[in-house]
């Protein structure tokens, strides 16, 4: 599966749907370091675009609902950027306490200013 996703990315490198599915496969196979590396790149370049895509819903349902479980079942605080995405999923699923718990634990590990600002804003609102 991962080889098919890599080939798809080769031919369409700006299609983040493939990238999100690749992260899912990596998380499901416990390849946390590779998943974290991809998350770092995606979040650095265009974090809100990626989050918006991940949370997109249309009349058929949640586009990436199948990806949510891969993030929420594979939380490892050693990988803060993957955890950041997990926290955003928790927010979307109306689980603010879980999201804030993750934000609190990763706050000191996140260095991207836009993500840091988002986390601090969420934590200040409680």
pLDDT in tens, 49-76: 888 888 887 766 666 677 888 999 998 9
Contacts of 70 (CB under 8 A, 6+ apart): 23, 24, 27, 28
Beta bridge partners of 58: 61
What is the token pair recorded at 21? 């599915």
Residue pLDDT, tens place only, 19-36: 888 899 999 999 999 999
Calculate what percentage of the chain has a pLDDT beyond 70: 83
> Alpha carbon 31 to chain centroid distance?
15
pTM recorded for the entire structure: 0.86
Q: Which residues pair with 62 in a beta bridge?
A: 57
- pLDDT at position 15 is 65
Residue 9 has pLDDT above 70, yes or no: no
β partners of residue 57:
62
């Amino acid at each position: 599966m991962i080889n098919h996703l890599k080939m798809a990315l080769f031919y369409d490198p700006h299609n983040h749907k493939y990238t999100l599915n690749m992260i899912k496969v990596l998380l499901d196979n416990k390849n946390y370091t590779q998943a974290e590396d991809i998350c770092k790149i995606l979040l650095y370049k265009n974090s809100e675009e990626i989050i918006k895509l991940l949370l997109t819903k249309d009349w058929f349902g949640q586009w990436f609902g199948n990806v949510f479980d891969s993030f929420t079942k594979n939380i490892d605080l050693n990988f803060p950027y993957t955890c950041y995405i997990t926290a955003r999923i928790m927010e979307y699923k109306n689980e603010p306490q879980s999201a804030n718990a993750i934000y609190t634990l990763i706050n000191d590990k996140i260095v991207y200013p836009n993500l840091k600002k988002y986390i601090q804003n969420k934590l200040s609102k409680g």
